[in-house]
Amino acid sequence: MLRYATAHSVAHRVVTYTTRQPRPDEIDGTDYHFVSPEEFNGLYESGALIERERVYGDFYYGSPRDIFGGTDGDVIMELDTKGTDNYRKLYDSIVTVFILPPSIEELVNRIRQRNPESNFADRLMSARPMIESADSYDYIIVNDEKERAGEELLRIIRELPVDSQRDAKLELADRLLRELHDKYEI
Mean pLDDT of 60-82: 81
**pLDDT value of residue 132:** 97
Which CATH number is 11-76 given?
3.30.63.10
DSSP string, 2-31: HHHHHHTTSSEEPP-EESSPPPTT--BTTT
What are the residue boundaries of the structural domains of the chain, listed by start?
Answer: 11-76, 95-186
Is-contact 2 13, C-beta < 8 A? yes
pTM value is 0.83
Torsion angle of C-alpha atoms 29, 33, 34, 37, degrees rounded to 10: 160
Task: Please write the tens of the pLDDT for every residue from 100-122.
Answer: 999 999 999 998 887 666 678 88
Q: How many CA atoms lie within 13 A of 2 on its CB side?
A: 15
Residues facing 63 on adjacent strands: 51
**pLDDT value of residue 72:** 65
Task: Please write the tens of the pLDDT for every residue from 118-154.
Answer: 678 888 888 999 999 999 999 999 999 999 999 999 8
Report the distance separating Cα 147 and Cα 153, nearest Å: 10
